[in-house]
Amino acid sequence: MSDNLIISVEPATGEELWRAEKSDVDAIVDRARRAWPAWAAQSLTTRMETVRRFANEVRKENETFAELIARETGKPMWEARTEVEAVVNKVEISIRAYSDRTGQKRLDSALQGTAALRHKPHGVMAVLGPYNFPAHLPNGHIIPALIAGNAVIFKPSEKTPAVGEFLLKCLHKAGLPSAVAQLVVGGPDEGKALVAHRGVDGVLFTGSAQAGIAINKKLATQPGKIVALEMGGNNPLIVWDTPLFLDAASLVIQSAFTTAGQRCSAARRLIVKSSMYDDLMVEVKKLADRIIVGGPMDDPQPFMGPVIDNDAADQLTESFLYLLSNGGKAIKHLVKPQDDLPFLSPSIIDTTKMTDRPDVELFGPLLQVIRVDDFDEAIAEANNTRFGLAASLVGGTPQEYNRFWANIRAGIVNWNRPTNGASSAAPFGGTGLSGNHRPSAFYAADYCAYPVASTELEQPRATVGVGFRDS
């Protein structure tokens, strides 16, 4: 098999879905640089109407698009449909966000002229997308970047390139010039070449902390290049005083196991008040035992599909065994029923007695449980991570939620809601290893255009004062 090919395989079946040759990054960047000025010169109204036509194209293809997402990621059709809906909704949200976050301002003064604030696009933006939401998450960078007047080069994950290709085809059908949004097919080498390319003015990344740190290091000597890093999380969910054990358990299951745990905002650590532990875990395990795991087209529809590939499944299995052999106590074992396909059962392990819990993002259906005795200890345990993306409190009083909100270190802080499922109409980002203080979603406009301050007079007017001899 040629080293120059990227082949996409359906996780649920192991069958080949798509293949293409790797792209010439230099040629694509050169084409984007030549196309960008004409796109930037278009009126904002024209750019907004183009992305609105894109939303209409996606609507026309919604079922075809959802099926492709389901097949390439393994996620159930019901979830793939919600991803397509999010792609469509992102357009109007991004238009509102651009107006709200990058609005023009003028302040007139008869003697000093006009002070103005306007925004300009950066130029050519590289968007590096993940495999878990291969349409929605990169779209959250692409649409704001296009509205602002940038050209976009999109490199999807090598595990989900077919979805990336489909996304750009919808943009081109909407009338966007093909050179203004281009696809790079490739693996890590092509991604590295794109990030480091002198013709790229910004890098918008969604993915693992490891890859994000590598990008940050690579660009440390290039401060002129805008970098927005949306990375992962080791997210805590605290369950405190509440009589509603079944509701609490439902929130735990949604937080930990939606998308087979392959969400950056998924709950990785469940922190439980010791006095509630037994009653809560009975309900959590009951629900986890009822979860249907299956292929994306199965009927009845599963709650969980497979993880992305066998490598991911094997790494998660090794992680579960590591926790088990270092003081963890299995509540629900991680099981891989088929050797050749990456289906995993949801798993739960009590790691309270582990002296050194690994602070890593275990990207799959693996939930660690930690018992604590008081609320201060719960908050301290929740903050016991280098990450800081999402955190949720289930139960507790309004006063305890206020303490939780004030003291927790995360960019998304919820009460009696899951850790995941954040709104695109709010900023999405975190602290620590979860990002570099450039939140996406509604705040994506902030990194897609830069502010320009001007003072302006229609005619030159100036005088000289102190320090000049009389004429």
Closest CA to 228 of 240, 208, 212, 244: 212
Q: In sequence order, which residues have a C-beta less than 8 Å from that of residue 408 and are 6 or more positions away? A: 379, 382, 383, 391
Lookup: tokens for 160 = 């989900």
Quick one: CA torsion of 46, 50, 56, 60, rounded to 10 degrees?
Answer: 150
Lookup: tokens for 340 = 């050749």
Closest CA to 73 of 286, 380, 296: 296
Element (H, E) at 284: helix 277-290
Q: How far apart are CA 92 and CA 425, in angstroms?
A: 10
Quick one: CA torsion of 87, 129, 336, 84, rounded to 10 degrees?
Answer: 10
CA neighbours closer than 13 Å in the CB half-sphere of residue 37: 3
φ, ψ dihedrals at 249, nearest 5°: -65, -40
Q: In sequence order, which residues have a C-beta less than 8 Å from that of residue 259 and are 6 or more positions away? A: 75, 79, 132, 266, 304, 420
Element (H, E) at 191: helix 188-196
Active-site position among 10, 264, 361, 448: 264
Active-site position among 72, 79, 190, 230: 230
CA neighbours closer than 13 Å in the CB half-sphere of residue 113: 11
- Within the chain, how many helices (H) and strands (E) appear? 14, 21
Q: Are 442 and 143 in contact (CB under 8 A)?
A: no
Q: How far apart are CA 39 and CA 53, in angstroms?
A: 16
Rg for the chain, CA atoms, rounded: 24
φ, ψ dihedrals at 64, nearest 5°: -60, -45
**What's at 266, amino acid-wise?**
A
Report how far apart, in Å, the C-alpha atoms of 312 and of each of 152, 308, 316, 346 are. 30, 7, 6, 14
Q: Is 264 a catalytic residue?
A: yes
b (16+ CB within 10 A) / e for 417-444 = bbbbebebeebbbbebbbbbebbbbbbb
Closest CA to 421 of 255, 261, 309, 262: 255
Q: How far apart are CA 267 and CA 137, in angstroms?
A: 19
Active site residues: 230, 264
